[in-house]
Structure 1
Amino acid sequence: MSKKKKGKKNSSNKVKKRIATLSQDLLNVLDKYKSKAFSVRRVCRELMIKDRKTKQKASDYLETMARQGMIKEVGPKLYKTNLTDATIEGVVDYVNPRFAYIICEGLDKDVYVKSADLKGALDKDTVQVAINQNQRHGSRPEGYVTEIVKRGREEFVGHIEISPRFAFVVSDNKKMHNDIFIPLENIGEAKHNDKVIAKVTQWPDGKRNKNPKGEIQRVLGKSGENETEIHAIMAEFGLPFEFPGAVEKEANKIPEKITEEERKKRRDFRDVTTFTIDPLDAKDFDDALSIQYLDNGNTEVGIHIADVTHYVRPETRLEEEAYERATSVYLVDRTIPMLPERLSNGLCSLRPKEEKLAFSAVFELNDNGKVMREWFGRTVIYSDRRFTYEEAQERIETGEGDFHQEIIKLNELALKLRAKRFANGSINFETTEVKFKLDEDGKPLGVIPKERKDAHKLVEDFMLLANKKVAEFVYHMRKGKPKDTFVYRVHDYPDPERLADFGRFAKRFGQNLDTDEDHVSESLNHLLSDVEGKPEQNLLETLAIRSMAKAKYTIEPMIHFGLAFNHYTHFTSPIRRYPDMMVHRLLDRYLKGGKSVDPEEFEGRCQHSSEREKVAADAERASIKYKQVEYMESMEDRDWTGIVSGVTEWGVFVEIQETKCEGMARLSSFTDDFYEFDEENYRIIGTRNKRIIALGDEVQVRVTGTDINRRTIDLEFIFEGEDDDERSVYERPKKRRTQQGPRKAKGSLDRKRHFKGKNKRK
């Protein structure tokens, strides 16, 4: 037989063998890529089928299998497997242009999804995600979005960039990786680089249409100006700019005068020494302390709380608005109140030298801080003095000034209450917060760490006492009978795995954490006490808090782990928290012998309040970050000492110790070597010089850039003995994309190319 005939025969045999297994091969390909539909050409390419005969057989087999129901024909000559992965509902956390995590309740690990498999979903969208049984991304399950259940938001804040033919909005949100295309007829009054609110009118589909399309809803002002940027943060988090007219009108109609009939319904504390202790710039005073010495040697302390629910009645516009807001929000230069100013700063505020209505918790304490007797009810009070924290602290330290004896006595009792709380397992979290010294235009002149002294803790200890005792009182009210529905503030035990991770990290600083449930509180307190005043203090405190469960509102009477209380609630701040209003109403109802309320309704209100609390905290952090970035913008010529606060595959986060500002040095900025990311040990390692930079290291950095819009600070590392010229000697190898920082999102507009093309055609 000739070589030519032999070659033909071998080729023919291969084709026959291929055809014999072809149907199973086709099924295997479709089963492997469950989320995708395949054309005949594409499935042949996947199987590397090149000869015409086998391609025709593949087409015939696919058609037959679809007719028999073995696979689906989802379009003309477009086929997909019948097999489907199990789906679960979750919320998108779009952390990076290349991928997102889907946070699913009930799953230990978030689901990793590539951007191409998000089906056009954006950050905070609720989606159905299918978990691929055959693939994992490290320790996480990998999946793909099958359905977008609900969009997380339809309005986005950003700056607008306008070209001759079109415009787009670049979102301020770091997790929004796609620019919003705006046709020129939809830009309204916006000018180039204005800060705007854009509403999406057409969503991306994850295929050809990768950019949302929208229209301008509101122009906030020129980017970079304080008022514009703060309004942008308010809009980004859906915070209200003003109260509706009907709400203000209703508030203004409430009579100011306290009638004699109302006084007679209440316990009278007007003749008892009473004062408030608040920050210097406080405008609403929702709590006051009264003190009187009893003949038996004990001390009666009254914790008097503004009686908001006397003025804000159910089924009114004021009530609806308070519920919707659920909390006041404290940005760096303003407060967004839960209640209109007439109530928050006027009628309800326990201002000095004014008769006021209150809801009170009154305790008789002995000299050891033990509660001998308690009473709860509505009162009328008269505040003798308004103290700032600084004034109260001065009386504690010097023993001089008006009401110094009363404040010193309250502080002595507070110290006893605090010691008992810590002995019972309460955790002493003392994270460092910052405030800003601002000029008249809102520009930061300095960053000042807030200092907590005994005067701050004194007030806190009595508020904790009132909250704890109110919760216990209602819980134990009907002994041996079903418990009344009530609003509790709960804090669950920490997740053992997260706690173990924190323990392993703390070991780097010579700290040992006992993660046993019975000893973890005591061990944590010992650790936090030991790191006080050390460079790593703020980092370890922050990471310790992150390892804890999140506190929330619920009708379930669970423990508060952080405070070591069996039952706890929020009773003491109804001017700024809606849950406290619920607590006041329920406590009053049960004191009068009323029946329990609908548990489902109140659990829904608790959930809403918890969600709004998180939004408020995120907005407050964003405003602080904005001012930090603005402050560091003028500090680019300085070198700073910092602590490595985070390590990722694309960069190293550093918290600058002096200002508590956090920035990131991208791995692409490291010119001395090529660094590998060691995820397990929270560090990067130089491949040539073996230099290690790990979480918690003290480092020297310099600010190289700031971005007000994204609220980010770019840093570069300064290594000992290295000058500016030496820093760029080593040419980094162009190997891995992971070292280049996040890639440009596939859905982003290539603006330069787009502009050039449009202008040329013009």
Structure 2
Amino acid sequence: MKSEKKIKNKHCINFAIGFINVTNHGYAFVSIEGVKKDIFIPKNKINQSLEGDLVKIRFKKNRTGIKMEGEVLKVIKRKNKKYIGILKIHSDSEYGLVIVSNIHVNILIPINDKKLKKYHHNNKVLVQIISWPRNLKNPVGKIIKIFGKYGDYETEVYSLLEENRISYKFSKKVEDETKKIFSKKNSDKTIRRDMRYIKTFTIDPINAKDFDDALSIRKLNSDIWEIGVHISDVSHYIEEDSLLDKEAYLRSTSIYLVGKVIPMLPELLSNDICSLQPKKDRLSFSYIFDIDKKGKILRSWFGKTIIRSNKKFTYDEVQKIIDEKKGDFYEDIYTLFLFSKILTKKRLNNGAIYLEKSEVKFHLDKENNPISLYLEKNNDAHHLIEEFMLLTNQKISEFVSLNLNGEPSNKLYIYRIHDEPDPKKIFLLKKIIEPLGYFLDLKNLKNSINHLLRRIKGKPEQNMIENLILRSMSKAKYSTKNIGHYGLSFIYYTHFTSPIRRYSDIIAHRLLHYYLMVKKNNVKSKKLKDIEFYEEQTQYCSNKERLAIDIEREFLKYIQVKYIKKFLGKEFYGIITGLTDWSVYVDLLLFQIEGMVRLRDIKEDCYVLNSDSYTIIGKKKKKIYHLGDKIKVKLLDINLEKKQIILDWIDNIT
């Protein structure tokens, strides 16, 4: 962004160049270098510009001198020329119309194509803008890809990936390189600690294929156990700067959609030689430690191993063993469970925030249509695995970051960091929950949040308040600059335990291996790149992780909206979760999904927003509704493309 002309007089007309940000209401803002406030662009003056375009604008201050308003004169460079939309074809017409509708872009693109007959009405398509004559309201476009019928599972998967520039196939060159690795199956067994004859098992979801972590355990004497946390040695197979490595970095993370996984690594690696399958020799990178019955770690070892898992368990199988106190490996599993309880208690005593949200899950039919919904919450088996993975990530980062005397080593490493929450967001959270009878102690925030989480358990407002707490927290990210992990209360923390699905963990593996080799005076170990290289990688991994989370949430919303369609006309209870000038957002308790009631559609009164108290107030009856109030609504309509649920207000629950 750059300013084309300096502002000399607050009333004079100015010209500038900047990027336009179009809101979902149609008006826009342009940020200009050297100007503190963004320039407001009315809906009727964005003049053929679209979200993210580089534009030339003319603007001036209004008489109050507070708000600057402008208009777009010219689009200098388009951010995008390709958009995804729904094709509408009128019968016997040579013309089609692609409706592009998302948060920032709402345009109609006419299609005049002789091949239109091969397309179908309501196809979801990728369309390219080929021109936008000044005298036309809409741009002219051509269709360059068809995804299929709008609303179908496969159509929505691949159009969403295309929209976010996510590749769902591996190139032939990458597949060929993978086959070469698979055929060689290189194993440096001679330099690895042999753990194949120690009781080892994996615990994963029932449909998992990529087992990237395993636990081993053996009793050394009446008071001491040796526990091993074994992580797939992915970096052994993927050579740095190879084609496969570049592809893994490009993807940076696996994406988990309802019913489908878009993997970071090809299946020959992720589901085969890197997967810690039972009864097979597998290469791993391990954290092995001795622990006494009080949970004190007496000795730690980090290094490369070879393991052979005895059995793969599902979480449900392990939970049954814990509950019934019998079954395969019962003594070992129950011992690990008891240690996990000790580790959890230590974390909480150290100030960790204990936020556990139920996840919305779906059963799909053969056509991948949602047929039933259920809520999944972590059980003791999940916590068992979670605690040992958290411990491993913590201890490995401490091993690299601290010398034997406990002083900082100043070694370069990749950390998973989590900053303190924004005080403004915490104050807002406090203000919202107080009318509901809850309190936050800002001087003892972590303990206060944990107390709040315990109090709301099982209450109708639980989901809303948990979401508000999550929104008030900073986003965890990767960095070479360690600031600790606020939520976990760890001074040192990394991601090491999921290298099959996260590139950040591959970086952590490579760096740890380098330091272990240097310690052994191994002259063959490669030199590290400079810190700027790794910092750039951490930022990229953080951004890709954020994108993957957004994609997963958006696709889950599509499945939720598709599922709820069968309940049109039915009445449900909900909790008010959000308020705007024109609408009320309601969390439908039965479905854990948010719908919207337009304020103008509430028949009992004319309601207006009081943004200071986060309430709506009736003009006539003066009735007040707060966030967290329980109400009854009717499911009126859905918009599958916009993933919106439209509700009708019935009454409140007194």
- What TM-score comes out, normalization by structure 2 length? 0.90
Q: Deviations over 1:658-703 (max 9, x none)?
A: 1112111122322333221222222322212323333211111111
Match of 1:337 among 260, 263, 271: 263
Tell me which residue corresponds to 2:348.
422
- 1:242-281 matched pairs, under 5 angstroms: 242-255=169-182, 262-281=188-207
Q: Which runs of 5+ in 2 are unaligned?
A: 519-524
Q: Name which of structure 1's ranges 145-154 and 502-511 shifts more when overlaid on structure 2.
A: 145-154
Residues of 1 paired with 2:77 and 2:179: CA distance?
A: 39
Q: Deviations over 1:15-52 (max 9, x none)?
A: xxxxxxxxxxxxxxxxxxxx999xxxxxxxxxxxxxxx
Mapped pair 1:98 → 2:40: no
Evaluate the alpha carbon distance shift between residue 70 and residue 303 of structure 1 in structure 2; reply closer, same or farther with a 3 A threshold. closer
Match of 1:687 among 619, 629, 633: 619
Q: Deviations over 1:55-75 (max 9, x none)?
A: xxxxxxxxxxxxxx999xxxx
- 1:377-526 matched pairs, under 5 angstroms: 377-477=303-403, 483-516=410-443, 519-526=444-451
Q: Which runs of 5+ in 1 are unaligned?
A: 1-34, 38-68, 72-79, 722-762
Cα distance, 1:559 vs structure 2:
1.4
Residues of 1 paired with 2:348 and 2:37: CA distance?
A: 33
Residues of 1 paired with 2:33 and 2:423: CA distance?
A: 17
Tell me which residue corresponds to 1:201.
130
Residues of 2 paired with 1:134 and 1:407: CA distance?
A: 71
Cα distance, 1:356 vs structure 2:
0.3
Evaluate the alpha carbon distance shift between residue 668 and residue 540 of structure 1 in structure 2; reply closer, same or farther with a 3 A threshold. same
Residue 188 of structure 1 contacts residue 216 of structure 1 at CA under 8 Å; is this kept in 2?
A: no
Evaluate the alpha carbon distance shift between residue 175 and residue 249 of structure 1 in structure 2; reply closer, same or farther with a 3 A threshold. same
Tell me which residue corresponds to 1:15.
none
SS in 1 for 2:596: strand
Structure number with bigger Rg: 1
Tell me which residue corresponds to 2:98.
169
Evaluate the alpha carbon distance shift between residue 481 and residue 677 of structure 1 in structure 2; reply closer, same or farther with a 3 A threshold. closer
Cα distance, 1:82 vs structure 2:
6.1
Tell me which residue corresponds to 2:121.
192
Evaluate the alpha carbon distance shift between residue 102 and residue 405 of structure 1 in structure 2; reply closer, same or farther with a 3 A threshold. farther
Cα distance, 1:182 vs structure 2:
3.0
Tell me which residue corresponds to 1:7.
none
Residues of 2 paired with 1:588 and 1:169: CA distance?
A: 53
Evaluate the alpha carbon distance shift between residue 712 and residue 379 of structure 1 in structure 2; reply closer, same or farther with a 3 A threshold. same
Evaluate the alpha carbon distance shift between residue 95 and residue 448 of structure 1 in structure 2; reply closer, same or farther with a 3 A threshold. farther
Residues of 1 paired with 2:424 and 2:652: CA distance?
A: 37
User: Which residue identity does 1:715 align to in structure 2?
Assistant: L
Residue 365 of structure 1 contacts residue 373 of structure 1 at CA under 8 Å; is this kept in 2?
A: yes
Evaluate the alpha carbon distance shift between residue 36 and residue 249 of structure 1 in structure 2; reply closer, same or farther with a 3 A threshold. closer
- 1:600-619 matched pairs, under 5 angstroms: 600-619=532-551
Q: Name which of structure 1's ranges 334-343 and 162-171 shifts more when overlaid on structure 2.
A: 162-171
SS in 1 for 2:442: coil
User: Which residue identity does 2:593 align to in structure 1?
Assistant: C
Q: Deviations over 1:189-215 (max 9, x none)?
A: 4322111112233479xx866544432
Q: Deviations over 1:77-103 (max 9, x none)?
A: xxx946578x9x7783x4422334679
User: Which residue identity does 1:624 align to in structure 2?
Assistant: L
Cα distance, 1:574 vs structure 2:
0.6
Residues of 2 paired with 1:534 and 1:108: CA distance?
A: 44
Residues of 2 paired with 1:523 and 1:242: CA distance?
A: 47
Evaluate the alpha carbon distance shift between residue 467 and residue 216 of structure 1 in structure 2; reply closer, same or farther with a 3 A threshold. same
SS in 2 for 1:429: coil
Evaluate the alpha carbon distance shift between residue 473 and residue 317 of structure 1 in structure 2; reply closer, same or farther with a 3 A threshold. same
SS in 2 for 1:652: strand
Match of 1:676 among 605, 608, 611: 608
Residue 401 of structure 2 contacts residue 409 of structure 2 at CA under 8 Å; is this kept in 1?
A: no
Mapped pair 1:219 → 2:135: no
Residues of 2 paired with 1:127 and 1:558: CA distance?
A: 39
SS in 2 for 1:290: strand
User: Which residue identity does 1:166 align to in structure 2?
Assistant: Y
SS in 2 for 1:592: helix
Cα distance, 1:505 vs structure 2:
0.7
Evaluate the alpha carbon distance shift between residue 258 and residue 709 of structure 1 in structure 2; reply closer, same or farther with a 3 A threshold. closer
User: Which residue identity does 2:450 align to in structure 1?
Assistant: N
Evaluate the alpha carbon distance shift between residue 104 and residue 591 of structure 1 in structure 2; reply closer, same or farther with a 3 A threshold. farther
Q: Deviations over 1:449-487 (max 9, x none)?
A: 012111001101111111111112111259878723221
Tell me which residue corresponds to 1:571.
496
Evaluate the alpha carbon distance shift between residue 433 and residue 480 of structure 1 in structure 2; reply closer, same or farther with a 3 A threshold. closer
User: Which residue identity does 1:177 align to in structure 2?
Assistant: N
SS in 2 for 1:254: helix
RMSD of equivalent CA atoms = 3.3
Mapped pair 1:285 → 2:214: no
Evaluate the alpha carbon distance shift between residue 597 and residue 107 of structure 1 in structure 2; reply closer, same or farther with a 3 A threshold. farther
Residues of 2 paired with 1:328 and 1:629: CA distance?
A: 24
SS in 1 for 2:107: coil
Q: Name which of structure 1's ranges 484-493 and 183-192 shifts more when overlaid on structure 2.
A: 183-192
Residues of 2 paired with 1:562 and 1:393: CA distance?
A: 26
Residues of 2 paired with 1:321 and 1:304: CA distance?
A: 25
Evaluate the alpha carbon distance shift between residue 263 and residue 195 of structure 1 in structure 2; reply closer, same or farther with a 3 A threshold. same
Q: Deviations over 1:297-338 (max 9, x none)?
A: 222211111111111112222111111111000001100000
Q: Name which of structure 1's ranges 504-513 and 672-681 shifts more when overlaid on structure 2.
A: 672-681
User: Which residue identity does 1:426 align to in structure 2?
Assistant: A
Tell me which residue corresponds to 1:231.
158
Match of 2:463 among 535, 538, 544: 538
Identity %: 39
Tell me which residue corresponds to 2:522.
none
Residues of 2 paired with 1:151 and 1:559: CA distance?
A: 40
Evaluate the alpha carbon distance shift between residue 503 and residue 137 of structure 1 in structure 2; reply closer, same or farther with a 3 A threshold. farther
Residue 194 of structure 2 contacts residue 307 of structure 2 at CA under 8 Å; is this kept in 1?
A: yes
SS in 2 for 1:284: coil
